[in-house]
Homo-oligomer: A and B are copies of this chain.
Amino acid sequence: MNVFIIGIGLIGGSMALDIQEKYPKAKIYGIDTKEAHLDEALKLGVIHQKSSFKELDKAEIVIVSIPVDAQIEVLPKVLNIVNDDTLVMDVGSTKELICKTLEKHPKRRNFLATHPIAGTEFSGPSAAIKGLFKDKTNIICEVEKTAFQLQEKALGIFATLGMRIRYMDAHSHDKHIAYVSHLSHISSFMLGKTVIEKEQNERDIFDMAGSGFESTVRLAKSSPAMWTPIFEQNKENVIETLEKYINNLEEFKSLMQQDKFSEIFQKMKSTNHIKQILNGIK
């Protein structure tokens, strides 16, 4: 099984590691715009061989794990090259524009739109880890547009990697994911920015910050190259979430200014209910 990974970072690299482990006969080819990433991935054993677009015609599976703006450019080219029975998947955090871009591509049936809800705040080949996808959700969009045999092939791999599947239309995906993922990243980045701006003497942050702060700003370590195009592609939905979030913060501030602390208590109390929701994630 020849598997080509385009973009050997956190997601692509982790997929490569899991596929190697679960399919000992699989040969993993790596393609990346950064030669240094390929060298590193080879050295770390994430891929078996460096490769290029010219070799894509011998791929059985192509996993494209690159920033979502690059997906729009790269996916049509990949589909142009691959064989009729090759499975091509993306793993991007937005789905609507990607699906729309490929809507009329002659090889649309070779493509499966996926979004594995997995990751860490790290990036690059060294961020690749085994078992990243175990017990995680993989959202598949417009499954009906993919050839049945290729659906089966993909689902077989996802099952082997331990993932749960959820089907969704691309529009709904982008709307919901703005709330449960994209907004978290902005809240975290802006929290980090607010504190850094204030605390110019960093020793104060070092010494006073605890695990709570660490947890809320963890995502501010994420890659801007990956996240900027996500916000761009999901602009309308993300702006909506930001507006609702800012409104809630404004309301909280206003209640504080009016000394309405019993209402603040109630607001927090009714949000505590997130416990049960988070238990569902685990």
> Which residues in window 116-160 of A have CB below 8 A to B?
117-121, 136-137, 139
Contact B245 A190 (CB under 8 A): yes
Residues of B within 8 A of A120 (CB): 211
Residue A34 at the B interface, CB < 8 A? no
Residues of B within 8 A of A58 (CB): none
With both beta carbons as reference points, the residue of chain B lying nearest to A197 in the complex is identified as B244
Given A139-B208, A184-B217, A228-B268, 11 more A-B residue pairs with CB atoms under 8 Å apart are: A117-B209, A137-B208, A180-B195, A180-B199, A194-B245, A209-B281, A214-B278, A220-B274, A224-B264, A224-B269, A246-B249
Contact A118 B210 (CB under 8 A): yes
Residue A225 at the B interface, CB < 8 A? yes
Contact B213 A215 (CB under 8 A): no
Residue A25 at the B interface, CB < 8 A? no
Residue A106 at the B interface, CB < 8 A? no
- Complex Cα distance A176/B210, Å? 12
Partner of A183, one of B188, B191, B262: B191
Question: Number of A interface residues, CB 8 Å?
Answer: 95
> Which residues in window 256-273 of A have CB below 8 A to B?
256-257, 259, 261-262, 264-273
Partner of A181, one of B119, B210, B267: B210
The minimal Cβ–Cβ distance linking A161 to chain B, given in whole angstroms, is 15
Partner of A184, one of B216, B232, B250: B216
- Complex Cα distance A262/B241, Å? 21
Binding site for B on A (CB under 8 A): 117-121, 136-137, 139, 164, 166, 173, 176-177, 179-181, 183-199, 202, 204-222, 224-225, 227-229, 231-232, 235, 238-239, 241-246, 248-250, 252-253, 256-257, 259, 261-262, 264-275, 277-278, 280-281
- Complex Cα distance A231/B254, Å? 13
Contact B214 A216 (CB under 8 A): no
- Complex Cα distance A266/B270, Å? 36
Contact B181 A208 (CB under 8 A): yes
Known: A210-B136, A232-B261. A190 touches B248 (CB 8 A): yes
Contact A220 B272 (CB under 8 A): yes
